[in-house]
Amino acid sequence: MFALLFKAFAILLALGLAYVSIKRAVLGSQPKRTEAPSPPSPKPTETIEADDLVRCPSCGTYRPAGQSCSTPGCPARPT
Binding site for Zn ion (CB under 5 A): 56, 58-59, 69, 71, 74, 76
Nearer to Zn ion, 18 or 76 (CB): 76
Instruction: Give the span between the Cα atoms of 42 and 49, in whole angstroms.
Output: 13
Taking the C-alpha atoms of residue 11 and residue 8, their distance in angstroms, rounded to an integer, is 5
**What is the nearest approach in angstroms of Zn ion to the Cβ of residue 51?**
19
CA distances from 63 to 11, 37, 59 (A): 75, 35, 11
Closest approach, Cβ 65 to Zn ion, in A, equals 14
Phi and psi for 63 in degrees, rounded to 5? -140, 155
Work out how close the CB of 73 gets to Zn ion at its nearest, in angstroms, rounded to a whole number.
9
Q: Which is nearer to Zn ion, 38 or 79 (CB)?
A: 79
